[in-house]
Structure 1
Amino acid sequence: MTHIVAIAGSPADKSKSTELIDKVFRQLEQTGFTTKLISVRDISAQELIYGAAQDSQSLKTITGHIERAAGVVIATPVYKAAYSGALKAFLDLLPQKALAGKVILPIMTAGSDKHLLAIDYALKPVLSALGATQVLSGFFVSDQQAKRDQLGLLSLDGETEQRLDEQVGLLVSLVRLSVSQQAVEAEIY
């Protein structure tokens, strides 16, 4: 089975960006993928803030999940026109080429459309610095497009739901293509 990891970059206990990962995972699991959620909340503050992770067993485990993944979903709220500081601290702990050979789906949530380009100018450069070469255009959603219902569940408007479905479909296609190409290359060598 093909494995997809998601990194939840919100330091909040309940966030729209993490709930979007749940929506993505449901779609991925229906198509036969296995999934694993990694949250910045899973890393101790000591490790995140001081970078004290050289001997961290939890970080080694997390890095192992990322290494085995064919695709990575990275979801974060927008803070100060960029991705969360907790996500930045987490990404700084990863090995230099941790995202090499992975298909990446970036997801950002924000209060307004004014931050629409945050994926391109803030998040994608750091993903590239971590070796990512297959980064999808990404999924951006504002508070006007994602609202909570009476039960507190996240609901997307129709057009936004369709855009998310398209990005997940593209992730599935590209991951399958990448896995097939790796299998062919392994047979050749």
Structure 2
Amino acid sequence: MERDGHTVRGISVLDVDPKVLVQAEYDHPTVREIAESIQKADGVIIASPVYKAAYSGVLKTLLDLLPRDALKEKPLMIGGSQAHLLAIDYSFKPLLAALHAQTILRGVYLTDPQIDKTSPLEPINEADLEERISNQLKQFIEIAKKLKSIPE
């Protein structure tokens, strides 16, 4: 999908055969393709529901199959609900740091009532929240551009 001059691609754990995840097939073509897409990306946004004070287990399983440096030099946004702010700091950030994510932005936290799931193209209907998301995305894009311009 193209948006505001940027190509956006969604990847879901649902795109991966559960057998591949359970059997830890890190060299499976689907996992390799996801890893390559992430490594080619200028930035990564990760979202997960929070269960029992942590990100979903299936997301962790997918992240475990990625190369250790999959998120190296990628600006990264994460989010969750207000009720789970500590889960982001105490479970998600250490995991992402282990994958060499270096720039983790604060993100914008959304709760179910703030998302109109019947409108996938315009799911946010609160102007203040939309502005916060827009400002965070601008910062995310600026960091991605800066990182991309640094010679390897």
Tell me the TM-score normalized by structure 2. Answer: 0.88
Deviation string for 1:130-183 (max 9, x for gaps)?
A: 000111112211224x1437xx22334222222211110111111111122x2x
The equivalent residue for 1:168 is 137
The equivalent residue for 1:49 is 22
The equivalent residue for 1:143 is 112
- The structure-2 alpha-carbon separation of the partners of 1:174 and 1:128, relative to structure 1 and needing over 3 Å to count, comes to same
> Counting strand residues as a fraction of each chain, which structure ranks higher?
1
Q: Distance in 1 between matches of 2:129 and 2:72?
A: 29
The letter for the 2-side match of 1:43 is: V
The equivalent residue for 2:8 is 35
Q: Distance in 2 between matches of 1:84 and 1:102?
A: 22
The SS at the match of 1:52 is: coil
**1:75 Cα deviation after fit:** 1.2
The SS at the match of 2:124 is: strand
* Identity, % of aligned positions: 36
Q: How many residues align?
A: 149
> Which runs of 5 or more structure 1 residues have no equivalent in the other structure?
1-24
Task: Tell me if the contact between 2:77 and 2:107 (Cα under 8 Å) persists in the aligned partners.
Answer: yes
Q: Distance in 2 between matches of 1:126 and 1:160?
A: 27
Task: Tell me if the contact between 2:116 and 2:124 (Cα under 8 Å) persists in the aligned partners.
Answer: yes
> Which runs of 5 or more structure 2 residues have no equivalent in the other structure?
none
Deviation string for 1:5-61 (max 9, x for gaps)?
A: xxxxxxxxxxxxxxxxxxxx76xx21x22222111011110111221233x111111
Q: Distance in 2 between matches of 1:140 and 1:49?
A: 30
Q: Distance in 1 between matches of 2:34 and 2:45?
A: 14
The letter for the 2-side match of 1:124 is: K
- The structure-2 alpha-carbon separation of the partners of 1:160 and 1:117, relative to structure 1 and needing over 3 Å to count, comes to farther
1:179 has 2:148 as partner: yes
Task: Tell me if the contact between 1:74 and 1:106 (Cα under 8 Å) persists in the aligned partners.
Answer: yes
Q: Distance in 2 between matches of 1:141 and 1:114?
A: 10
- The structure-2 alpha-carbon separation of the partners of 1:147 and 1:67, relative to structure 1 and needing over 3 Å to count, comes to closer
RMSD: 1.8
Task: Tell me if the contact between 1:119 and 1:138 (Cα under 8 Å) persists in the aligned partners.
Answer: no
Q: Distance in 2 between matches of 1:125 and 1:156?
A: 32
